[in-house]
Structure 1
């Protein structure tokens, strides 16, 4: 698709779109040096500042890279997806595998570092999860995630807490789908209550091994059900 002069409107956005199409459409393959700013500005009918902003946006998307003294080169044919987009598009089993890695270690750390305030927050979240048994699936999942978030927070690692916060929205969507897919609440409106209560007790008592093992077993069981598509408890 040939380049052409742009219509007046958000010019930077239009320039980004046109240049992106040249790259993703194969007109400029990976390794190609783009025309200079003056040439691009003339072809697109915009100023050099607009071209410069568009190239910055394409660099941020992982499509091009400026090389000092050499120009701007195409380094990828497809834009890099941000973390939130990748999570939304990921298979639920893949999301759950990552969840296992993060949360089992968080539970171990939480058992070693929990404070009285952390314990109070976890116990309150456990009670809220139990009350949510009478609510719809979305509200129950929200209460479940809040309990797990309280355990992660008790690990005392702000990076880990932020990571879980980034992870939680996609996890929520997939958990709601999973509850419906596997029929997790058809026969038990509060699935996994005993396991969660034992998990909170293990963290409260400082038993890192038990906390990690309980969470690992719980998530392993759900992952197995995801792989074979059969109902089970969470």
Structure 2
């Protein structure tokens, strides 16, 4: 039994592939099924499969690696498009988008945070200091928690759209600054959001964001 009808096979195949990525069935960094496998599942021809893959590749969601297959690069089209600008020399542009979103998230979090939001922020700020190999996930989790605490669904969606590109910055900034350098900033954000102190929260957030900017610049020089 196939999953698409004969009519509009391209559109249905494209949407089905997007759904596999969006719901986590196909995760970022992993290889998707081969063309013959997709043809069998979808019940469509090779050209239809290739056109759908071509579309997702053009927006940066998928990446074709010759001799290895096709891999998921980003969960959304916006994430993929931004991901194409994630070379070290252009990483600063992505950072500017992140900074704009996160500084606003901090402001809103001070107004709208719940006690549970505060608990999570303190927990992650403390945990990142001794996260070891899990540092990237824990640190990224803190910044996601800040956005969550803003309780703005549109802001949350926008941040999710650049999340994979934000994750990529760790690959170029690793080792430039020790995580402990911004520990006080992260703890400061959590404490200021708890106190609903917008100025102090923004100041602390700008503290760790500035260090990130410096690390990106240093990596570009290297």
TM over 0.5: yes
- Max Rg structure: 1
TM range (shorter): 0.5 to 0.7
Structure with a larger share of its residues in helix: 2
Q: Which residue pairs with 1:208 in the alignment? A: 198
Q: Please, which runs of 5 or more residues in structure 1 have no aligned partner?
A: 1-8, 21-56, 63-77
Q: Is the 8 A contact 2:124 2:138 kept in 1?
A: yes
Q: Is the 8 A contact 1:141 1:176 kept in 2?
A: no
CA distance in 2, matches of 1:229, 1:164: 24
Q: Which residue pairs with 1:175 in the alignment? A: 170
Q: Which residue pairs with 2:143 in the alignment? A: 148
The answer to whether 1:87 aligns with 2:85 is no
After TM superposition, the structure 1 = structure 2 runs for residues 17-36 of structure 1, keeping only pairs within 5 Å, are none
Q: Please, which runs of 5 or more residues in structure 2 have no aligned partner?
A: 1-35, 61-76
Q: What is the root-mean-square deviation in Å for CA atoms of aligned residues? A: 2.9
Q: Which residue pairs with 2:128 in the alignment? A: 129
Q: Which residue pairs with 2:47 in the alignment? A: 14
CA distance in 2, matches of 1:80, 1:172: 18
Displacement of 1:13 in angstroms is 3.9
Q: Is the 8 A contact 1:152 1:160 kept in 2?
A: yes
Distance 1:227 1:130, change over 3 A: closer
Q: Is the 8 A contact 2:79 2:163 kept in 1?
A: no
Per-residue CA distance 1:144-188 (angstroms, 9 max, x = gap): 1111111111101122223223322221232133114x2x22xxx
CA distance in 1, matches of 2:220, 2:193: 30
CA distance in 1, matches of 2:128, 2:192: 18
Secondary structure at the residue paired with 2:181?
A: coil
CA distance in 1, matches of 2:218, 2:48: 48
> Of residues 210, 218, 223 in structure 1, which corresponds to 2:213?
223
Displacement over 6 Å in runs of 4+? none
CA distance in 1, matches of 2:216, 2:165: 17
Displacement of 1:99 in angstroms is 0.7
CA distance in 1, matches of 2:48, 2:157: 35
Pairs aligned (count): 160
TM-score (norm 1): 0.59
Displacement of 1:230 in angstroms is 8.6
Displacement of 1:140 in angstroms is 0.9
After TM superposition, the structure 1 = structure 2 runs for residues 41-190 of structure 1, keeping only pairs within 5 Å, are 61=55, 79-81=58-60, 82-91=77-86, 92-132=91-131, 135-136=132-133, 139-180=134-175, 182=176, 184-185=177-178, 189-190=179-180
CA distance in 2, matches of 1:122, 1:94: 27
